[in-house]
Amino acid sequence: MRKRQPTLNPATGDILWYGVASTGLRAQWVLLQAGVRTDKQADALDGTLVIAGGDISVWQGGKLIKIGSYTPATAITVTASVSGAQVTLSWAAVSGATYYDVVLDGVYHGRTSALSDVITGMTAGAHSASVTASNNQQGTVSFTIVAVAPPAPANLSAVPTGPTTLSVNWSANPAPDYRNTEVYVNGAFAASAASGPVSVSASGSATVTARAVSAAGLSSPYSTVNVTMPAERIPTGATASSTVQERNPGMAADGNLGTAWLAQQYSSQGGFDWWQGTITGNLVAVRIYTTTAQNAFILVNGVQRTSMSLAPNTWNEIPVSVPGATTLRVNLQPVAVPGYAGLRSILSEVHYYS
């Protein structure tokens, strides 16, 4: 058998020994990859490769014949430093390497020329990582991420959007396994969502609490905000295109003669009967009672904010949100009323919430 000296790649530690068959002996080759032997067609006793103590020998004619030597490549030592859901992989420089490829849990993570890689957003459990240098030297490390509760909802807010409704919001939660935020009003569960805002019901003085929950079911501490719900109020200093009065106390929807509005004559104010009063605070809703179906146009601080078709003989609640409101004006589109000549707006009261 004609033998060739083994070929050694000093950068990787891979060794290839190749033999050419003579009469009666099969061809064979052996590849040693960083100390791991792989035989191809080496099923005969003669030609069996033996690697020990840095020597490469082959069995031939019943004798062990040294044919070369090698220096296996040194594996990269990789360390993992865990902090919460973050791991920092570190390793020593490999001579001649220009970059390092990082694989996390069997999935390619990225390439870096640095000697460390910070990986965030790790989920709880056992993990493994490998680092392969550009010259194919490799190292692996195993580590464990311990499940931790997500941080409490940040920037929790609760803003009244109506007499009995709150809009609750919070900042995005940075926890990698964050699932949702639970919202409670005065200790009672009110809503659950991955992100805000959410609408909940409340009245009077309300304490709103919220906690974040992870996919593993771990809960954060509570965040808390206190809020006073809007109160129903009566505007002051009312003026109108026609009489602000009641015919009799029994006709007052709230029994307050000073807040009722009886349009006794057709107004020339742009085709509307109008009513205006002074209000204070952060307006969230207007309530109007009328005995006739008609359209209402709501102006706050001189600007039209919304409109609504009013139902007769009931309180109509109109959401309108204006912080720092000072004046409230209601334009009513007159309608034909039996028993009255022409168009009239009949018996309307205006309240507001702030």
Tell me how crowded residue 86 is: count the other CB atoms within 10 A of its CB: 14
Angle in degrees, CA 71, 72, 76, rounded to 5: 130
Of the candidates 209, 212, 127, 126, the residue with the CA atom closest to the CA atom of residue 176: 212
- Tell me the residue ranges of DSSP E strands in 146-256: 157-162, 165-169, 178-185, 188-193, 198-201, 205-214, 223-228, 232-233, 236-240
CA–CA gap between residue 328 and residue 108 (Å, rounded): 63
User: What's the pLDDT score for residue 46?
Assistant: 58
List the single range of 48-62, 64-78, 319-333 with lowest mean pLDDT: 48-62
What average pLDDT does the structure give for the chain?
A: 75
Contact yes or no for 25/47 (Cβ under 8 A): yes
Contact yes or no for 350/235 (Cβ under 8 A): yes
More confident residue, 330 or 35: 330
User: What's the pLDDT score for residue 299?
Assistant: 87
Of the candidates 151, 152, 134, 131, the residue with the CA atom closest to the CA atom of residue 142: 131
The residue-averaged pLDDT of 289-303 equals: 83
Q: What is the CATH number of domain 157-228?
A: 2.60.40.10
Where are the chain's structural domains? 2-69, 78-145, 157-228, 233-353
Residues with Cβ within 8 Å of 299's Cβ and at least 6 positions away in sequence, in order, are 305, 328, 329, 330, 331
Please check whether the two domains, 78-145 and 233-353, share a CATH topology. no
For residue range 160-172, list pLDDT tens digits in order: 888 889 999 999 9
User: What's the pLDDT score for residue 344?
Assistant: 56
For residue range 78-115, list pLDDT tens digits in order: 999 988 778 999 999 988 889 999 999 988 999 999 99
User: What's the pLDDT score for residue 251?
Assistant: 41
Residues with Cβ within 8 Å of 188's Cβ and at least 6 positions away in sequence, in order, are none
Helices (H) and strands (E) in the chain, counts: 0, 34
Angle in degrees, CA 222, 227, 233, rounded to 5: 165
More confident residue, 262 or 26: 262
Q: Give whichever of 8-22, 133-147, 248-262 has the largest mean pLDDT.
A: 133-147
In this predicted structure, the answer to whether residue 329 has a pLDDT above a threshold of 50 is yes
The residue-averaged pLDDT of 219-248 equals: 77
For residue range 246-288, list pLDDT tens digits in order: 443 434 445 454 555 655 444 444 456 777 888 888 888 888 8
Contact yes or no for 54/4 (Cβ under 8 A): no
CATH class of 233-353: mainly beta
What Rg, from alpha-carbon coordinates, does the chain have? Answer: 41
List the single range of 22-26, 281-285, 320-324, 339-343 with lowest mean pLDDT: 22-26
More confident residue, 52 or 186: 186
Does the domain at residues 78-145 carry the CATH identifier 3.40.190.10? no
**pTM recorded for the entire structure:** 0.56
> Among residues of the chain, what percentage have pLDDT more than 70?
67
